[in-house]
Amino acid sequence: MTNRNLFEKEVKERAPLQEFKEPNPLPEEIAAQYPTIDLVSIDLSQYEEGNSGLEKRKALAKQLETALSTSGFFHLSNVGLAPEVFNRVRSIGQLLMSIPDEEKVQYLAGALTSDEEDRSKSLGGERGSGFKPKKYWSNNNVRDSIEHYNFRDFLHDDIFLSDEGVLKHPKAVRGYLRDISDYFNYLHYEIVRKICNLSDIILEIPEGTLWNNYMRVIDNDPFHSGGGFGRLMRYYNPSPEDEVKTNQSWLRGHSDGSFITVLTSNPILSLQIRDYETGEWKFVTHKPDSLVVNVGDGFEFLSGGYFKSSIHRVHSPVEEQKGETRFQIIYFVDPDRSLVIDPETINSPKLNRLGYHKPKEWEKITFDQWNDNKGRLFGKNAVNNVKGDEPVVVKLFGRLHERWHQVDNAQPPAIAEHERLYGPPTSINV
């Protein structure tokens, strides 16, 4: 057991939290005037453990299969987290974002801008522990207005709450690290585990396979443990000129490099998913106290492309909500990093029957190779500083680094529109 004296001391000295004021959700009839996507909604209170719960789990797995194989996104309700739990984490985020800039720069996740980053040494602002300041990325020569803070290793108390682990974070939040780890541990053990088990049912592999093999937590071994990182993210309002230049895109269209991603449902209508078939951008609607979960690249590859790591972005809020504060809590869930991410790993009767095999052009790679190499491209000027939402298309290990591939599978009008705007897909050496 690690000595946690420093942590205990910080708990005693912590300042009280200020309540985070969530913006009001948009009335349904107004939200309905915007293009929205009707996501599958899964009621997690229907999940029952054990043999007697199998029929219920099979029913949920059926709904989940529709979600994973179409948009790759779903709402998850009755997740067992009270509104106060979400609010407490948001309040901690608010506290973090309010510390002076001079202090923030001592706790950076990487460099001050993405272009200065040496990613052979650093995970960068996207994946490293600490602050990603505003103006880190660029889009059509406009710098971003997003600030976020990443936490890593919260599934490993002996690392997270050790003196060294505590000192990684600004003084203001050190006494609140247990709240952070409680939240993300709950998501890992109660949400991710259940999604893994339901996915086993879909894939017709023994229940427990995904969880036990790739998501379990091994003490003091983050590399071979499931986990990833948690993010507290605050969007600020860009200037009107910047809004024009970026076409109101606050966070460029991308697919997540994770296995799955767990977001909080947000009252601000801003998150958009790009329709897999038509390319149309559609808003994700809000369900209070619920989660929004999406497939990341890792799960798409493991399923041979049956599950979809969809392109999504954050758009400037709709007219009725302009000026409101968007705050987001995210868990980017990574598997054991040595997992070989193609369907041969799991040999799923379902995928075999449907014909989802490893495409020849895919090199045999681990999740670590994917995550690391995709991570190196994030925010790179050569790839991202382009007009419009789509980055320059890069191939990594025979796979498009952002999963815009649905453009290739889409109906001819979408392909024509894509090529008209951006030309044919290109490849650059990395």
Ligand X SMILES: O=C(O)CCC(=O)C(=O)O
Residues at the contact surface with Fe ion, assessed by CB under 5 A: 256
DSSP per residue, 312-365: EEEEPPPGGGTTPPEEEEEEEEE--TT-B-SGGGT--HHHHHHT----TTS---
Q: Which residue in 216, 233, 200 sits closest to 330, CA to CA?
A: 233
Complex with Fe ion: residue 345 or 373, whichever CB lies closer: 373
Q: Which residues, 6+ apart, have CB-to-CB distance to 245 below 8 Å?
A: 140, 141, 142
For residue 258, the partner it binds in Fe ion, ligand X, none, with Cβ less than 5 to 8 A by kind, is none
Backbone angles phi, psi at 108, to 5 degrees: -80, 145
> φ and ψ at 400, to 5 degrees?
-65, 135
Residues 6+ apart with CB under 8 A from 155: 181, 184, 185, 188, 217, 222, 225, 226, 227
CB of 120 to Fe ion, least distance (A): 24
Residue identified by tokens 């209070």 is: 288
Is residue 291 at the binding interface for ligand X, with CB under 6 A as the rule?
A: no
Give the one residue of 256, 336, 389, 390 binding ligand X; rule: CB under 6 A: 256
- Nearest distance in Å: CB 291, ligand X: 11
Residue 257 or 335: the one with the smaller Cβ distance to ligand X is 257
* Helix (H/G/I), strand (E/B), else coil: 311: coil
Q: In the complex, what is the shortest distance from the CB of residue 107 to ligand X, in angstroms, rounded to a whole number? A: 19
Choosing from 123, 198, 260, 330, the residue that interacts with ligand X (CB under 6 A) is 330
Partner in contact with 263, chosen from ligand X, Fe ion, none, beta carbon below 5 to 8 Å by kind: ligand X
Residue type, position 347, single letter: N
* 334 lies in the site for ligand X, by CB under 6 A: no
Question: What strands, in cross-sheet order, belong to the sheet with 146-152?
Answer: 40-43, 73-77, 291-295, 260-264, 326-334, 227-235, 146-152, 130-132
Of 150 and 348, nearer to Fe ion (C-beta) is 150
Residues numbered 225 to 244 that lie near ligand X (CB under 6 A) are 233
291 neighbors 75 (Cβ within 8 angstroms): yes
| Nearest-angstrom CA–CA distance, 134 and 284 | 25
Sign of CA dihedral 57, 60, 66, 71: negative
Classify residue 323 as exposed, middle or buried by CB count within 10 Å of its CB (0-12, 13-18, 19+).
Answer: exposed
Q: Least distance to ligand X from the beta carbon of 115, Å?
A: 20
Nearest approach in angstroms of CB 282 to ligand X is: 14
- Answer for which of 42, 155, 166, 271 binds ligand X (CB under 6 A) is 271
Give the nearer residue to Fe ion in terms of CB position, either 153 or 256. Answer: 256
**204's torsion region: left (phi>0), alpha (psi -120 to 50) or beta?**
left
Spatial contact of 402 and 148, defined as CB atoms under 8 Å apart: no
What is the nearest approach in angstroms of ligand X to the Cβ of residue 254?
Answer: 6
Which range binds ligand X by CB under 6 A, 134-142, 198-206, 263-271, 339-347? 263-271
Minimum distance, C-beta of residue 412 to ligand X, in the bound complex (Å) = 29
Candidate residues 70, 145, 328, 348; the one interacting with ligand X per rule CB under 6 A: 328
Question: Can you tell me which of 188, 312, 315, 376 binds ligand X, judged by CB under 6 A?
Answer: 312
Residue 97 is a binding residue for ligand X (CB under 6 A): no
136 or 176: CB nearest Fe ion: 136
Is 316 a residue that touches ligand X (CB under 6 A)? no
Q: Is residue 260 part of the contact set for ligand X (CB under 6 A)? A: no
Asked whether position 198 contacts ligand X by CB under 6 A, the answer is no
Among 26, 64, 111, 263, binds ligand X (CB under 6 A): 263
Footprint of ligand X on this chain (CB under 6 A)? 233, 251, 256, 263, 266, 271, 312, 314, 328, 330
